[in-house]
Amino acid sequence: MSDLKVDGIIASTGTNTNLTLQGKGSGKVDIGDGALSFPDADGDANQVIKTDGSGALSFVTPAAAGWNIIGTAVASGSGTLDITGLSSTYDTYAIGLSDLVPATDNVAPYIRLGDSSGVDSAGSDYSWCQIGMRNNSSSVLGAVDAADSEIELTPVSGNIGNGAGDGLGGLLFLHTPGDATGWPRLSGTTYGGDDSGPIGVFSTIGGERRAVIVVDRIQFLFSSGNVATGRMTVWGVAHA
């Protein structure tokens, strides 16, 4: 090994020129008392340098963590909002519903799931249950269905309005998607504007697709008419 010892400054002699440190042949550039050994070739785009804790540095792709967006669908008089691209990469998916306003007054909001063959909507594909309240009453509302063509997101069928202050928002989680051995299950909460007020309607929902399928898509729709405005976004939730 060759050593270069300098008590002062090492600088390139040309104007605005780079200073290159390079080992000979397959030799590395080692810097510092800890002898950090730099890689002798560039990594790929968006990679970072990682240490092995023993002085060797290398380029690696950073692990995905947190919530990673799968897709977003913006309504503009849309019959449905559909997002594909779900897979076994994530064990949990988050579904954000933002300011979804129906074109038709007094309708129910629905969620459906599907696989590579399309969205499932047969009459007994889903079961669901929910409890909720209106903000003008202390009475608890509840609804269940053991065999339905969708998962309903509010406890009173057909109650989301399209007037000033109406619409729906919520956050749902899909717990058993792509590579699951059980039925795909979904849970979460919604809050919407009742067609008769607006009166706020809160709901806690649980539902499932009544078969083991490889979920790769999610669909939002209202029971009648189009989705006038709003957005649905899906994130994959990384566990590490």
Q: Would you identify the CATH topology of the domain 67-237?
A: Jelly Rolls (2.60.120)
* Mean pLDDT (whole number) for 118-132: 96
pTM over 0.85: no
pLDDT(94) > 90: yes
The tokens for 56 are 């060797």
Look at residue 181 in the predicted model and tell me its pLDDT. 81
- Listed in order, the ranges of the chain carrying CATH 2.60.120 are 67-237
Burial 63-99 (b: 16+ CB within 10 A, else e): eeeebeebeebebeebebbbbbebeeebbebbbbbbe
Euclidean distance between CA atoms 60 and 147, whole angstroms: 48
Beta strand 67-74 with 227-237 is antiparallel
What's the length of the chain?
240
Look at residue 196 in the predicted model and tell me its pLDDT. 73
Euclidean distance between CA atoms 182 and 212, whole angstroms: 6
Tell me 46's DSSP state: T
Beta carbons of 215 and 114 less than 8 angstroms apart:
yes
Position 12 confidence tier, pLDDT thresholds 50, 70, 90? low
* Mean pLDDT (whole number) for 213-226: 95
Look at residue 229 in the predicted model and tell me its pLDDT. 97
Lowest mean pLDDT among 21-30, 89-98, 111-120: 21-30
